[in-house]
Chain A
Amino acid sequence: MAVYKRGYQRYQGPLTTHAARVMAFPRFAWRRLLNQRLVLIALIVSLIWPLLCLGYIYLANNLDLLKTMGGVAPVFKVDGHFFLVFMNVQAVFATLLAALAGPGLVAPDLANGALPLYFSRPISRLDYAVARLAVLGGMLSLITWVPGLILILMQCGMAGWSWIRPNWSMAAGLLAGFVLWVLLVSMVALACSAYVRMRLIAGGLVLGFFFVLAGMEQVLNQVLRTNWATLLNPTRSSYFIWSGLLGVETPEGPGVRECALALAGMIALLAWILERKLRPVEVVA
């Protein structure tokens, strides 16, 4: 029977699992995000560098090809430095993509007062935050650790599977380093989106978060003649951590453990902001 002739009947069918209910948020959000031209362009542009890196790995494993073409074979090495550069570039794209996509996740819900509708259903605040994190986490994974692992697989395939044996820690380091960065960037984007209800300003705030803290680091390090202010800069702290994870010599400054603690502190602070902001009703004391 046609829907318009049917009239209302109470739903009596089976219900989905709790996880399926929570995952409805990311499914709807991904569909909406991919309909935004700017986000789609940013996503495609973010995949150019991984493609170039794939070409680099191909050439590094086919130096003879270059020689036969008459050129002088340059030094192509697929090592920790290579992956560190790859991570740095992709981290920038991840931040830009988070600044574009992140503000559209929580800010409209707060501006439209949609949270009471969500939380009057079997969805908790934690479920909602996790679902929104999954939206950004999923999208940023596409341009960070997923292509990173593809590069490692390609290197294994071309250099022989024995390559992974001495380098497995690099693969694990790449995965862990990117997961940490994706978590941090997603939390920054969600917190900014929850704090400022206007999308454009929230997007600017995401970028501002990283630029301002980087500027503060420079000023404090210069004024106090120290390098501990590096802990305030999430970009620099992450660089230190990635260097440690990839087995590359870390620059002078705080250790990997201190940097990891500083980032954990930032993530905790952002989680606290989200906890304060993601409420179905605001209570004025």
Chain B
Amino acid sequence: MPHVIELDNLSVKLGRRVVLEDITCRLGATGGGRAIGLLGPNGAGKSTLIRTLLGFHRPLNGSARILGYDCHRFPRDVRTRIGYMPETEAIIADLTAVAFLRLMGEISGLPPEAALEKAHEVLYHVGLGEARYRTLGTYSLGMRQMAKFAQAILHGPELLILDEPTNGLDPAARRRMLELIREMKEEHGMCVLLCSHLLHDVEEVCDEAVILHNGRVVHQADLEAERRANRRFVELEVTGDDSGLEAALRQAGAYAVRESAGRWRIVLPPGVELDALWAILASQNLGVHKLTHRRDSLEEIFLKAVGHIRETPGDEARREQEMAHGRL
């Protein structure tokens, strides 16, 4: 099946430093809206990868393709099909929002009348309709983020590359931004590459995630599958003799890893509720010092991928299950 982004042994060297090293992966199936999260700690190479996809950096080895077009050999074909929202401040401060978007539309290939019409339409859509004749220099940070988003979607690209789109947004604006991203994906069939350090944003809108660390892809996750698994993660701190806890949890169908004395990471599979956990803790005569639970599996995946934790409880059992079903 063709993919939106195809990287083959991609290496990129900036100055004397190899920033991306031998990356091979396929991201996002073409033919429908799909969102790909690009994650990684600072300096992992996320921005370099985005800039390479935009044709700003020449690969040292290998190739990067977007929608089948080589990013370095056919930059014009690639750039016609993408919309880019940079992380950095990238506006023309003394232009009005309408003039700015009109210019961006025209250099994207829209005829002048269509560019003007789209500029108004998009500004209304992102919530800047009333402020569209103000110069961008007078906009707040949140409004500037929206203006940057508006210029990225103005020409109706097939792939939307968003670099930290929720940076500096208040909770309401952040929610609106995520809604817009989801709308572009689901209603307008755009593919989205979302680079963010906010795991929650990625988990909320993305269907798959790729994690970079030290210039390499260390993990590629199908978030849809993770969501379907509907596992619940529990962090637990107990007092008392917990030597029998792991066996009791396993008997109830949960997986657990003891991190240190009294500290546990537990995965509750679908069907096993928190009440069951409380019952086990009571039967073991353990005092609960702290109990937090969440469905956010991406943080677990991320921390494991970049080496902050060794493994997710239950992974071993899952691998065994998958091997039994012949998937590995």
Contact = CB atoms under 8 A, between A and B. Distances in A.
B109 interface: yes
A6 B106 contact: no
A109 B94 CA distance: 11
Given A120-B54, A280-B56, A3 B117 contact: yes
B107 A113 contact: no
Given A8-B125, A10-B188, A283-B14, A121 B110 contact: no
Interface residues of A, number: 40
A280 B89 CA distance: 13
B88 interface: yes
A124 B75 contact: yes
Contacts of A113: 86, 88-90
Chain A at the B interface: SS class: loop
Interface stretch (B20-28, B150-158, B169-177, B266-274): B150-158
A24 interface: yes
A13 B106 contact: no
B89 A7 contact: no
A69 interface: no
Contacts of B161: 120
Interface string B85-116: 01011111110000100011011111110100
Contacts of A6: 121, 124
Interface stretch (B76-84, B200-208, B235-243, B295-303): B76-84
A16 B109 contact: yes
Interface string B1-12: 000000000000
A115 to B, nearest CB: 8
B56 A116 contact: yes
Nearest to B15: A285
A21 B121 contact: no
Nearest to B180: A8
Contacts of A224: none
Given A4-B129, A11-B114, A117 B56 contact: no
Contacts of A3: 117, 120-121, 124
A12 to B, nearest CB: 7
Contact of B16 (A25, A122, A285): A285
Given A109-B92, A113-B90, A114-B91, A15 B109 contact: yes
A201 interface: no
A108 interface: yes
B92 A120 contact: no
Contacts of B16: 285
Interface residues of B, number: 51
A60 B204 CA distance: 81
Contact of B84 (A12, A114, A120): A120
A28 B99 contact: yes
Interface in A228-280: 279-280
Contacts of A25: 103, 107
B113 to A, nearest CB: 10
Given A8-B122, A112-B91, A119-B56, A24 B106 contact: yes
A122 B91 contact: no
Interface in A2-52: 3-4, 6-16, 18, 20-22, 24-25, 28
A10 B124 contact: no
B277 to A, nearest CB: 46
A75 interface: no
Contacts of B73: none
Given A112-B93, A113-B89, A10 B109 contact: no
A169 B122 CA distance: 55
A285 B125 CA distance: 42
Interface string B158-201: 00010000000000000000000001000011100000000000
B90 A16 contact: no
Interface string A134-147: 00000000000000
A109 B129 CA distance: 25
A11 B156 contact: yes
A284 interface: yes
A21 B109 contact: yes
Nearest to A12: B156
B124 to A, nearest CB: 4
B250 interface: no
A107 to B, nearest CB: 12
Contact of A108 (B14, B57, B82, B94): B94
A16 B51 contact: no
B90 A15 contact: no
Given A10-B188, A25-B107, A120-B79, A112 B122 contact: no
B118 interface: yes
A14 B121 contact: no
A9 B114 contact: no
5 contacts: A3-B117, A10-B188, A20-B106, A117-B90, A119-B55
Interface of B: 14-16, 51, 54-57, 75-76, 79-80, 82, 84, 86, 88-94, 99, 103-104, 106-112, 114, 117-118, 120-122, 124-125, 129, 151, 153-156, 161, 183, 188-190
Nearest first, the 3 A-B pairs at minimum CB distance are A285-B15, A10-B156, A15-B109
